[in-house]
Structure 1
Amino acid sequence: MKEIICLSPSRWSTFPSRTQQLMARLTGAKLLFFEPPGHRQVSSGRKVRPGITVYTLPPILDVDERHRLLFQRGCHKQARFILRQMEHHRIREPLFWCGTPEGVHFLELIPHRGVVYDCARDWSDLPPRWESDMALAADVVFAASQQLVEHLAPCNDNIALLPNGVNFPMFTRPPTERPQELVHLPGPILGYVGTIWSDLDLTPALYAARALPSATLVFLGRRMANPTADALEHMPNVRFLGPRTPVEVPDYLSCFDVCMNFLRLNDPENDILSPRIYEYLASGAPIVSMLCMDQVEPYPDVIYSAHTPERFGQLCAVALRETGSWARTRRREHAAQAAWSLRSEQALRILSAIGLY
């Protein structure tokens, strides 16, 4: 049986991350999934799926690498914890899958037969040397976007583009019933699914709400402090419904006449496609997305792309007038090709080709 140690940048959750989606589909393996430290020490693991046990790394002092002794002490503490769990599960030379550059600190402390670095975001908040060393040490690098491929190319020749994906069966199942909050909403529904981050630029939504007073704008997801969201909340045709579990989201998407996507002000030129886009595609509904001026349009055949808030409002009106089934079918075809099952199969083919799986 294959052996895998996964160092995840996020916790195992009912809201699955990219790392969790991929790990859950690596069949025929004994996998230890190490999530970031919690607020308290948790030494016992929890079996979340056959062959997958999740452990929470022990908390350590949050110190800068310049405090070398304290920094190394924290790394050694977590490495000893990983080694104890490996010994308990009789894992000797696993494949070491790292979803974060912080894995570089464990490479000399934990025995392994190969290293995978899965880069799914910009890690500019960490020291650049961590990521460059991580990429240099990896036998293969998976990157979630073309920009990330180009960013890591100087450090490794064996890089594969592995975009985000979607749980295709869940997002294409027949809807159960119309969610109660949407039953009596007037007019067509323009919907957004995802966290309302503090830096999420919702100005285009203001233009859409004013341009389409007979439509209702629905926001589904956790809400942070966002001044534009506060302004939207006072508009008569806007509703913030809060977060829903992933299994509930498809029922809401099936009711959206148009799906909306926005930019974050702190990283407007990020070319990583969020899983949200693939979920929208799986619904088949028209999608209107904001883009930067020089950004390459994703799926230009089926996504309406706007470069200004005014144009966003106009395109929402155009999307509502969309007729025929071609675009809806084509969107679902794009989503089918981005299913997490196919993404994991692609990763496994590459790992098999280089003898790591």
Structure 2
Amino acid sequence: MSGARRPILWFYTPAMYEFARHIDAAAVIYDCMDELANFRFAPDRMKDMEAALMARADVVFTGGYSLYEAKCKQHSNIHPFPSGVDVDHFHQARQRVVEPADQQAISGPKLGYYGVIDERLDLELIAALAAARPDYSFIFIGPIAKIAPEDLPRAQNIHYLGQKHYGELPAYVSGWDAALMPFALNGSTQFISPTKTPEYLAAGRPVISTAIKDVIRHYGEVEGVFIASDPQHFAQACDDALLLARSSNAWWKPVDQMLEGSSWDKTFLAMEGLVDGVISSTGFAHMQAAKGTSRKTAASKPIILGEVVGVPGL
């Protein structure tokens, strides 16, 4: 059809490739955020589907360095993009913000988590933590997925507030004294690079995490980030984080300097350059046939196939 433009196909999951493999695309992008084959209820054919997508993809992005290291030999044009952060958005939590009504009634100290509540969380750790620190309140914000609600740990000081909009998160975090990343160490977390790490720090909250490889790699030496290997050490890390939060905000300055290089705008520009490059190298000959259409206008906006798992937060 005269004037038609070839789309860019942008995949977040290999499961969508079979539906779209027939499309003549200006470029095929695989934005690999997780090792989805390791997730609960993943299709048995997920690895085969990913191999087919990788074979077709012009460029592959990974959501962190651990994932990049696991896949870098599978594609010749693969690039790691660790989590960025909207600093201005989360800086709102450092200001005097009206705390949402469903959190106001919870007594402190408050330690919170937001994100999908699924098999990536260490439920036994959460239960042990609540028992070890009965005077602390542990708040969980986000949808429950792939686990039964009745399997969640229950205690008077554990509070599940449900899913909230991204725009509401700074108001909730403003009421926390520290932020939690109580991830289980299993196949589904082996390669994660949690987006919430820089978001919590931008919000001015100390972070307590289990020993996730990319958290240790990027934030293990950052003041305000505490890594714990077992429930006893995690509880002690919560104590230390609260002490830091109440003592001084001086640790915010080096954190902010570190986060300056982590904006989503910089991530976008870097990705855009790589996408433009593959369009130029793989599709320009085809586009030239369309009456000399320029490189910048010949490809349409991306068609996004698949959703990012773990919103809010990964």
Give the TM interval when normalised to the shorter protein. Answer: 0.7 to 0.9
- Say if 1:143 and 1:159, in contact at 8 Å, map to a contact too: yes
User: How far does residue 187 in structure 1 lie from its aligned partner after superposition?
Assistant: 3.1
| 2:78 aligned partner | 159
Matched residues in 2 for 1:171 and 1:293: separation?
A: 24
Which has the bigger relative contact order, CA under 8 A and spacing at least 6? 2
- Say if 1:189 and 1:217, in contact at 8 Å, map to a contact too: yes
User: How far does residue 252 in structure 1 lie from its aligned partner after superposition?
Assistant: 0.7
Matched residues in 2 for 1:286 and 1:345: separation?
A: 30
| 2:152 aligned partner | 229
| 2:166 aligned partner | 246
- Cα distance, 1:319–1:296 mapped onto 2, change above 3 Å: closer
Q: Letter of the 1:182 partner, please give it.
A: Q
Matched residues in 1 for 2:152 and 2:18: separation?
A: 40
Greater Cα shift, 314-323 or 327-336: 327-336
| 1:347 aligned partner | 271
| 1:309 aligned partner | 231
Matched residues in 2 for 1:108 and 1:234: separation?
A: 49
Matched residues in 2 for 1:140 and 1:200: separation?
A: 31
Unpaired runs of 5+ residues, structure 1, are: 1-86
- Say if 2:192 and 2:212, in contact at 8 Å, map to a contact too: no
| 2:11 aligned partner | 98
User: How far does residue 145 in structure 1 lie from its aligned partner after superposition?
Assistant: 1.9
1:138 is the counterpart of 2:57: yes
- Cα distance, 1:206–1:109 mapped onto 2, change above 3 Å: closer
| 2:130 aligned partner | 209
Please give the TM-score of this superposition, normalised by the length of structure 1. 0.66
User: How far does residue 272 in structure 1 lie from its aligned partner after superposition?
Assistant: 1.7
Q: Letter of the 2:82 partner, please give it.
A: P
Please give the TM-score of this superposition, normalised by the length of structure 2. 0.74
2:249 to 325, 347, 352: 325
Q: Letter of the 1:148 partner, please give it.
A: L
Figure out how many residues of one structure are paired with residues of the other and give that number: 267
- Say if 1:271 and 1:295, in contact at 8 Å, map to a contact too: no
- Say if 2:185 and 2:212, in contact at 8 Å, map to a contact too: no
1:116 is the counterpart of 2:35: no
User: How far does residue 217 in structure 1 lie from its aligned partner after superposition?
Assistant: 1.6
Unpaired runs of 5+ residues, structure 2, are: 281-295, 297-314
- Cα distance, 1:351–1:298 mapped onto 2, change above 3 Å: same
SS at match of 1:97: strand
- Cα distance, 1:326–1:351 mapped onto 2, change above 3 Å: farther
| 2:66 aligned partner | 147
- Cα distance, 1:229–1:96 mapped onto 2, change above 3 Å: closer
| 2:196 aligned partner | 276
SS at match of 1:326: coil
Matched residues in 2 for 1:225 and 1:167: separation?
A: 32
More helix by percentage: 2
User: How far does residue 311 in structure 1 lie from its aligned partner after superposition?
Assistant: 0.7
Matched residues in 2 for 1:227 and 1:142: separation?
A: 37
Q: Letter of the 2:162 partner, please give it.
A: G
| 1:58 aligned partner | none
User: How far does residue 316 in structure 1 lie from its aligned partner after superposition?
Assistant: 0.3
SS at match of 2:226: strand
- Say if 2:61 and 2:80, in contact at 8 Å, map to a contact too: yes
SS at match of 2:29: strand
1:128 is the counterpart of 2:51: no
